[in-house]
Amino acid sequence: MIAIACSLFASCGKQFSKDDPLPPDYKPSVYVSSDNQIVYSFNATTGSKNWELTVGSPVIGSPMQYANELYIVTQSGYLFKIDPNTGILNKKVYVGAGIQATPIADANLIYVGAGDNYMYAIDTNFTTTVPAPTAYIIWKFMANGPILSSATIQNEKLIFGSNDGHVYCVNKTNGTAIWNYTQANAGAFASSPVISMPFLYIGNNDGNLYSLNVSDGTLHWIFPTTSSIESSPIFRGGNVIFGGDDYNLYCVDTQTAVARWTVHTGDRVVSSPYAADNLVFFGSYDNYLYAVNILNGAIKWKFQTGGVIKCSPLLYNGTLYFGSYDRSMYSLDTTNGGVKWKQNVNGTMECSPVIDDKAGKIYNSSISGYN
């Protein structure tokens, strides 16, 4: 009877469907680093740590995600290419000494300025780990001072400031000069430019915000403040918004060059603002993160940390993300400034966060050149 029963089936052995592993379910993540030389990935919702990677040098420039890779630049001059999901280091190359600027990418080229006075264009497909990436540096443009400004792209133009007191415009494909602007007695352009055609806006440590013609670099207007401008401006609704070392956040009408409103804080405003949902968010050296009405500058709420806030905040899905010199990464509710989560990273934070929603959209801070 047993033999007959078995003959009724293809096999008497047990058979099951192939037990393939389920694909990884990656959650929206926030990437950030600090002077502790470690890059972190946190779950954007819960704050739990996804991974960490030591990069051997402080990180001031913000992380950049491009074409499914996470790029990090360090003060020691290295460019790291990291798997954003796992934190595994793919490759690294030496670029140029003293990188503090935030990189920007376009058409498979990464653009970043360095303390050795060069703006570099680097092929994203670099595959070496040795410190001699000559084949991957597509071009480099020499200024007369360190480049701390993150570049901004307008069609074929790559525009950035330098500590030599010049704003440069070069061809993004080959690095040839198109125009450069300087003003008598101008100081460093550490601020990153923002463009709203046909003009760009950039701050200088001489206390002036400059508006230039994108086409040829000629001066449009100058808006004076009373101290250095390191904050990178943003453009919203016909206004340019930026912070100053004179303790103020300014909103300036771009047609008249007249301030519509100012917000006075308790210390310098180096943090670059971020605007969304009729609010402007920014940090101050007075340890507070501010949320103000974009129409009149009225303070909606402010949140106190235990240290200076120099980085630019970033908003995603009703939540504000930023770091502080108190060595913590914060996640706040944008409606009232309530804490959603807080993570100690054991390092003072200057670089701004970047968020990957894992559905194809990347959220960059306003200092990144993508504003």
On whether residue 296 sits in a domain, the answer given is yes
On whether residue 362 sits in a domain, the answer given is yes
Is residue 3 pLDDT above 50, yes or no? no
Is residue 129 pLDDT above 50, yes or no? yes
Q: pLDDT tens digits for 297-345?
A: 999 999 999 999 999 999 999 999 999 999 999 999 999 999 999 999 9
Q: pLDDT tens digits for 265-289?
A: 999 999 999 999 899 999 999 999 9
Model pLDDT, residue 131: 53
Q: pLDDT tens digits for 29-88?
A: 999 999 999 999 999 999 999 999 999 999 999 999 999 999 999 999 999 999 999 999
**Per DSSP, what are the bridge partners of residue 30?**
42, 355
Question: Where is average pLDDT lowest: 14-23, 108-117, 137-146, 169-178?
Answer: 14-23
Confidence class of residue 133 from pLDDT cuts 50, 70 and 90? low
CATH (domain of 243): 2.40.128.630
Model pLDDT, residue 335: 95
Model pLDDT, residue 324: 97
Q: Cα–Cα distances in Å, from 138 out to 65, 110, 124, 142, 174? A: 20, 10, 10, 14, 8
Is residue 259 pLDDT above 80, yes or no? yes
Distance, CA of 201 to CA of 223 (rounded, Å):
10
| pLDDT over 70, % of the chain | 91
What is the average per-residue pLDDT within 346-368? 90
6: part of which helix (H) or strand (E)? helix 2-7
For the chain, how many structural domains are there in total?
Answer: 1
Distance, CA of 31 to CA of 39 (rounded, Å):
7
Is residue 114 pLDDT above 60, yes or no? yes
Model pLDDT, residue 19: 58
Model pLDDT, residue 135: 74
Distance, CA of 204 to CA of 37 (rounded, Å):
29
Residue 251 is part of which domain span? 225-371
CA angle 130, 66, 329 (to 5 degrees): 95
Distance, CA of 221 to CA of 163 (rounded, Å):
21
Is residue 191 pLDDT above 90, yes or no? yes
On whether residue 272 sits in a domain, the answer given is yes
Burial of 46 (0-12, 13-18, 19+ CB in 10 A): exposed
Q: pLDDT tens digits for 218-229?
A: 999 999 999 999
On whether residue 291 sits in a domain, the answer given is yes
Model pLDDT, residue 128: 62
Higher pLDDT, 210 or 185: 210
Burial of 260 (0-12, 13-18, 19+ CB in 10 A): middle
Q: Which of 321, 332, 340, 366 is nearest to 31 (CA)?
A: 321
Q: Please compute, for residue 351, the number of CA atoms within 13 A of its CA located in the half-sphere on the CB side.
A: 32
On whether residue 210 sits in a domain, the answer given is no
Confidence class of residue 9 from pLDDT cuts 50, 70 and 90? very low
Confidence class of residue 10 from pLDDT cuts 50, 70 and 90? very low
Model pLDDT, residue 126: 83
Q: Which of 71, 39, 156 is nearest to 368 (CA)?
A: 71
DSSP state of 368: G
Q: pLDDT tens digits for 85-106?
A: 999 999 998 898 899 999 999 9
